[in-house]
Amino acid sequence: MKLCRFQTRDGEIKIGFVSNDCLLDLTLAGINQMLPLLESDNPAKQLTQLSASSLPRIASSEIKLLAPVERQEVWAAGVTYLRSKKARMEESDFSATAYDRVYAAERPELFFKSLAEKVVPTGEPVGIRRDARWSVPEPELALVLNSRGKVVGYTIGNDMSSRDIEGENLLYLPQAKVYERSCALCPWITLAATEEEARAWNITIEIARGGSAVFSGATSAGQLKRSFTELAGFLFRSQVFPHGAVLLTGTGIVPPDQFSLQAGDTVTIRIDGIGSLQNPVVVV
């Protein structure tokens, strides 16, 4: 069961619901925003109680899919897969112990990634910094959390990163991670999946240049070292999110060191159980 936000040809923003492979407009059911729905402990139950047959079907050619965030802050966890720890320790002698320690520590690395209004939807360009030499996408399973820190759904995030800036000095992390067009989210929020089900999903990425694949990689969400409740619990410690939050859970796929994104590349990320996120790349 999936939810989305979409824009009609006359500019209206609406909430959609995928039922039996059909996209249904939830306006007639009185649902004009995602947040109140995500605030209920079981949005999927609320949606199954709707009479889907009475809701208008939407043709995907008639609408533009938006990022599935309204006022949520987007945060990210880091160094949660062995692959990410290894790559980062190689990228920086200077910070290698910090990555090693945080992978093993009780407290995870969590950092602010984006305001909702800055999130890039599928189809629109993600950015590589003009002052970076080494830029990569990070394909990540993202947890959709309500204001009580409960995981109510899942989406796909791309935590675009400047590896040379991060590698030069860990204090530059906010510049390596938070810049124009550095965060993209898939349009779909999958509801009603347990942590056990979500950990069985495969995560894949393909980067195309001039019509050919220049990098592809895969992992499983099951390789994530920390539990979803652990990550959400730390994010909500001494912190409030009145509109909920989206938490990217870290990357388990890192391209080889000689690879850097270029303007004109296309990044496609897929996660079983959710769908796909595809963005061209521009220099910002």
Residues in touch with ligand DO4 (CB under 6 A) = 76, 78-80, 84, 88, 109, 138, 159, 173, 250-251
Q: Smallest distance, Å, CB 71 to ligand DO4?
A: 23
**Residues pairing with 78 in the sheet:** 109
Q: Smallest distance, Å, CB 141 to ligand DO4?
A: 11
Nearer to ligand DO4, 47 or 87 (CB): 87
Q: How far apart are CA 205 and CA 229, in angstroms?
A: 26
Nearer to Mg ion, 23 or 281 (CB): 281
Q: Smallest distance, Å, CB 78 to ligand DO4?
A: 3
Nearer to ligand DO4, 80 or 190 (CB): 80
Nearer to ligand DO4, 68 or 108 (CB): 108
Contacts with Mg ion, residue ranges (CB under 5 A): 138, 159, 251
**Pairing, β 126-128 against β 275-283:** parallel
Backbone angles phi, psi at 210, to 5 degrees: 55, 35
Q: Smallest distance, Å, CB 26 to Mg ion?
A: 32
User: What is the dihedral angle through the alpha carbons of 275, 280, 283, 284, rounded to the nearest 10 degrees?
Assistant: -50
Q: Smallest distance, Å, CB 160 to ligand DO4?
A: 10
Cβ-closest position to ligand DO4: 78
192 binds, among ligand DO4, Mg ion, none (CB under 5 to 8 A by kind): none
* The pair of three-digit structure tokens given for residue 233, joined into one six-digit string: 């619990």
Cβ-closest position to Mg ion: 159
Nearer to Mg ion, 63 or 231 (CB): 231
Q: Smallest distance, Å, CB 179 to Mg ion?
A: 14
Kindly tell me the burial class for residue 8, based on how many C-beta atoms sit within 10 Å of its own C-beta (0-12, 13-18, 19 or more): middle
Nearer to ligand DO4, 8 or 260 (CB): 260
For residue 210, give the amino acid letter: G
114 binds, among ligand DO4, Mg ion, none (CB under 5 to 8 A by kind): none
User: Are 93 and 262 spatial neighbours (Cβ–Cβ below 8 Å)?
Assistant: no
79 binds, among Mg ion, ligand DO4, none (CB under 5 to 8 A by kind): ligand DO4
Q: Smallest distance, Å, CB 173 to ligand DO4?
A: 6
253 binds, among Mg ion, ligand DO4, none (CB under 5 to 8 A by kind): none
265 binds, among ligand DO4, Mg ion, none (CB under 5 to 8 A by kind): none
89 binds, among Mg ion, ligand DO4, none (CB under 5 to 8 A by kind): none
Contacts of 104 (CB under 8 A, 6+ apart): none
